[in-house]
Amino acid sequence: MQELASLVEANNMEVADTITQKSDSVSGATYFGSGKVTEIKEIANADDVQIIVLNDELTPSQIRNLEKETKLSFMDRTELILQVFSNRAQTKQAKLQVEIAKLQYQLPRIHPSGNPLDQQSASGGLANRGAGESKLELDRRVIRKRITALRNELKTVDKTVNVQSRRRTNTSLPLVSLVGYTNAGKSTTMNGLLNFNKEDSDDRKVFEKNMLFATLDTSVRRIDLADNTSFLLSDTVGFVSKLPHNLVESFKTTLKEAQDADILIQVIDISDAHWKNMLEVTEKTLKEVGVVDKPMIYAFNKADLKPDQQFPSIEGDNIYYSALDSKSIETLIQLIKQKIFANYKEATLLIPYDKQKVTEEILRNSQVTKKEFTNAGSLITANLSPEELERFNNYIEMESSNK
């Protein structure tokens, strides 16, 4: 219920009252028992509240029956999350994904009545309830046609995104992906890591705010450290319990960076009493979108809010840290490097001058520690991944032990 209140606030609405009911089962007709429905109506009328938000997904008939009996407007958890996502979506891809999910949610909720827009005339500052279509477009046939058109448009956008993703993954740089529950501190962690970039990175920072779903779009940044090690870092959309299935399906492409990652960093808000549930929700959602069997660092953020927690500290694959603490971020970087560069080996390569493209690629993407120019060609010493060692094998003069 606390999370529901945060979602309501994230949707620019104000919580007036919180009402709960203890019951062995839900009512098939109205979800709540008849006495609770009357209580809801009386409290709402007394406080001049005209919309009720429910912490579950209701059937279309349950919402219709509740609205008919109370003359109030009801929004279930699924619609609320869709509203928040709709307000937060910035890129073309995210906007299309959210609109498809909204239309799929709305389709079974269209019903023949004198005014099929009754459910969308909610007050309380709610603009664009549902998919924002006209009365005529709320016909099932038209909505199905609209969903098909949007899916086709999304396929085109996805192709462009996939090309961009392939360009990144075709580099030899390892990809690290931040995942986790919404508002756990992923964006703050990413910005903390960017602070250690050897070049000024203020213009590359991602948006961060203490709010559920502050950002939906995947951001990818290159991290170049002072010791010449580099990797790609992505910040993905946060998860939440009872995330609508249609939304999970729609965001599979958005989470492609996590699917392609060499290692995942699951950011967990250890200061939240429900962090174990949040961890379970994140791992369940990752499995639903096809992100499985990935090496993972469990990053327990906001350790500064736990009086008895020492930080920064590392225990196996776990790190306890604060994303606002530079020493914590430095410790996280050391753990990342330990994980992603474990199989790298130092090698010296002699590259003929007529193979300038090979030289440029190694200088751009590999961890170069030394370079000089000889009569025979460019002599480069670098720490290379197993794939790079195989790819540039013809140019290797000498290979040393593990880094």
Nearest alpha carbon to residue 172 among 403, 396, 383: 383
Query: Could you report the per-residue pLDDT of 216-272, keeping only the tens digit for each?
Result: 567 788 888 888 788 999 888 788 888 877 777 766 666 777 888 899 999 999 999
On whether the CB atoms of residues 301 and 189 are closer than 8 A, the answer is: yes
H or E, element range at 1: none
What angle separates helix 34-46 from helix 60-70, to the nearest 10 degrees? 60
Angle at the Cα of 235 from the Cα atoms of 229 and 236, rounded to 5 degrees? 145
Is 70 exceeded by the pLDDT of residue 382?
yes
Is 60 exceeded by the pLDDT of residue 123?
no
- Report the chain's mean pLDDT, rounded to a whole number: 84
Domains of the chain in start order, with CATH, are 1-17+25-75 (no CATH), 175-341 (3.40.50.300), 345-399 (3.30.70)
Position 164 scores a pLDDT of: 59
Pick out the residues of the known binding site for Mg(2+). Answer: 187, 215
Is 50 exceeded by the pLDDT of residue 10?
yes
More confident residue, 82 or 140: 82
Residues 6+ apart with CB under 8 A from 93: 154, 157, 158, 161, 217, 253, 254
Nearest alpha carbon to residue 251 among 97, 87, 77: 97
Pick out the residues of the known binding site for GTP. Answer: 180-187, 213-217, 235-238, 301-304, 322-324
Pick out the residues of the known binding site. Answer: 180-187, 213-217, 235-238, 301-304, 322-324
Query: Could you report the per-residue pLDDT of 171-191, keeping only the tens digit for each?
Result: 678 899 999 998 899 989 999
More confident residue, 275 or 165: 275
Query: Could you report the per-residue pLDDT of 31-85, keeping only the tens digit for each?
Result: 999 999 999 999 999 999 989 999 999 998 999 999 999 999 999 999 999 888 8
> What's the rounded Cα separation, in Å, for the pair 307 and 398?
51
Residues 6+ apart with CB under 8 A from 129: 83, 119, 120, 122
> What's the rounded Cα separation, in Å, for the pair 250 and 81?
14
Residues 6+ apart with CB under 8 A from 225: 196, 197, 198, 333
Position 202 scores a pLDDT of: 59
Return the bridge partners of 301, or none: 269
Distances (CA, A) of 282 to 13, 189, 288, 373: 26, 17, 10, 50
Is 60 exceeded by the pLDDT of residue 402?
no
Q: What value does the mean pLDDT take over residues 74-100?
A: 86
> What's the rounded Cα separation, in Å, for the pair 360 and 289?
36
What angle separates helix 77-88 from helix 2-10, to the nearest 10 degrees? 40
Position 125 scores a pLDDT of: 44
Position 213 scores a pLDDT of: 61
Position 126 scores a pLDDT of: 47
List the 263-269 sheet strands across, edge first. 219-224, 230-235, 175-180, 263-269, 296-301, 318-320, 313-315
